[in-house]
Amino acid sequence: MERGMQNKETNDRLPLVIGVDLGGTQIRTAVLHGSTLLSRVGILTGENPMPDHIIPRIYSAIDEALHQAGITIQQIAGIGIAAPGPLDYKTGIIYAPPNLPGWDRVPLRDLFTEHYHIPIFVENDANSAGLGEYMFGAGRGCTDIVYMTISTGIGGGVIINGKILAGASGTAAELGHMTIDWHGERCKCGNIGCLEYIASGTSIARRANEAIRSGEGIELLAFARTMLEHSSTVANQSALPTQGHDANTAELDSSPPEQGDMDTSDQHQQEHLHVNARTVALAAEAGVPLARAIIQTVAEAIGVGLVNIIHCFSPQMIILGGGVTQMGPMLMEPALRVVQERAMKVPRDAVQIVQAQLGENVGLVGAGALIYYHSNM
């Protein structure tokens, strides 16, 4: 089957598919008709994320999703699996994703094929989310789109002339690891000054907590304390509204201090409060100067990233997903100002920069969309 297809205006005539969204903490499965979820069953990876433990549980979740939808596996055209990279979409083998310990060279496609005997496709989660938005979300009607998700990390999917850009190694497009500040700090990928290092939800939280530790964040800390006192639910929420599997880990919690160099009880208490990206966003909205400065820096970095994307790909549309992009004008206005000031006029005039439309189900819809894409439906 050929890799490539049209985008879908409606779900009519599309066969039923199963989507699996494989995340570090949660794995979700669904029976889908186009972008419509007929059922959804999730499991937590829990204490033992090893593949020989998790994969049978995924089968059970799929069987339960089929049961809930009143569908049999014989009615299903295929199973699409969105997984964290690195992976090889051609062979369906997953290579040691950082957030799935113990998963090294797992032949996911072959295992699922042996179990279900129907077409199975595996794709990088950001690419498949981009495919979902392209076929069923904001990108309908386009041929060239770039999808960028900004949450705990920053991921990207590039679709050119209706095809997912995989590159020679199959790892394209790592938009989060484009260099923004070449004199900057080292990212966990090995590069220096990556967009992800500067502008992810994790980075927002890191900047805030560093400032607090250095004594510059008294007002932000007071804001976070007030939030904690007035909302008992805050501590249990993920840091930002999330899309797809990419739950933010930078939570407002009472983790032990990372540095033990403060002695007084007052200072010790300050060490215990870890501020998350969502709190920084709320504090910025409330006018806390440090929080505003952090969001401004992040917004400018995202703007520079958008300029780079526009110059490299000249897409019709850049679709932004993930919790950080939900911050609204506070983030988007400075980012778009950078685009207006710096991007070349011709490709800038040709691009629309929009919010993603599929929300939290983008991972599942994108996974299911892999079947339509590979089957040329």
- Candidates 17-25, 106-114, 144-152, 170-178; binding stretch for Zn ion (CB under 5 A): 170-178
As measured in angstroms, the least distance from the Cβ of 177 to Zn ion is: 4
Q: Which residues contact 213 (CB under 8 A, 6 or more apart)?
A: 259, 271
Residue of 38, 111, 189, 332 interacting with Zn ion (CB under 5 A): 189
What's the burial of 354, exposed, middle or buried (CB within 10 Å: 0-12/13-18/19+)? middle
Between residue 275 and residue 294, which ones bind Zn ion under the rule CB under 5 A? none
Tokens representing 153 are 């990390």
Cβ-based nearer residue to Zn ion, 119 or 155? 155
Residue of 14, 18, 20, 187 interacting with Zn ion (CB under 5 A): 187
- Candidates 192-200, 228-236, 256-264, 356-364; binding stretch for Zn ion (CB under 5 A): 192-200
Report the distance separating Cα 82 and Cα 144, nearest Å. 21
Cβ-based nearer residue to Zn ion, 193 or 241? 193
Cβ-based nearer residue to Zn ion, 144 or 246? 246
- Candidates 68-76, 117-125, 190-198, 207-215; binding stretch for Zn ion (CB under 5 A): 190-198
Cβ-based nearer residue to Zn ion, 142 or 189? 189
As measured in angstroms, the least distance from the Cβ of 302 to Zn ion is: 15
Cβ-based nearer residue to Zn ion, 66 or 195? 195
Report the distance separating Cα 365 and Cα 46, nearest Å. 24
Report the distance separating Cα 370 and Cα 199, nearest Å. 29
**First-residue to last-residue Cα distance in the chain:** 10
Cβ-based nearer residue to Zn ion, 143 or 191? 191
As measured in angstroms, the least distance from the Cβ of 283 to Zn ion is: 27
| Exposed e or buried b per residue across 21-40, where buried means at least 16 C-beta atoms within 10 angstroms of its C-beta | bbbbeebbbbbbbbbebbbb
Q: Which residues contact 139 (CB under 8 A, 6 or more apart)?
A: 7, 130, 133, 145, 147, 159, 317, 319
Cβ-based nearer residue to Zn ion, 154 or 220? 154
As measured in angstroms, the least distance from the Cβ of 194 to Zn ion is: 3
Cβ-based nearer residue to Zn ion, 110 or 181? 181
177 binds Zn ion (CB under 5 A): yes
Cβ-based nearer residue to Zn ion, 191 or 296? 191
- Candidates 44-52, 87-95, 100-108, 185-193; binding stretch for Zn ion (CB under 5 A): 185-193
Q: How many CB atoms lie within 10 A of CB 212?
A: 20
As measured in angstroms, the least distance from the Cβ of 198 to Zn ion is: 10
As measured in angstroms, the least distance from the Cβ of 150 to Zn ion is: 14
As measured in angstroms, the least distance from the Cβ of 87 to Zn ion is: 18
- Candidates 143-151, 171-179, 229-237, 305-313; binding stretch for Zn ion (CB under 5 A): 171-179
Report the distance separating Cα 301 and Cα 374, nearest Å. 35
Site string for Zn ion, 29-68 (x = CB under 5 A): ----------------------------------------
Residue of 22, 58, 194, 239 interacting with Zn ion (CB under 5 A): 194
Tokens representing 66 are 């089929």
Q: Please count the residues of this chain forming the interface with Zn ion, following the rule CB under 5 A.
A: 5
Greatest C-alpha distance within the chain = 68
As measured in angstroms, the least distance from the Cβ of 84 to Zn ion is: 15
As measured in angstroms, the least distance from the Cβ of 311 to Zn ion is: 19
What's the burial of 111, exposed, middle or buried (CB within 10 Å: 0-12/13-18/19+)? middle
Residues that bind Zn ion (CB under 5 A): 177, 187, 189, 191, 194
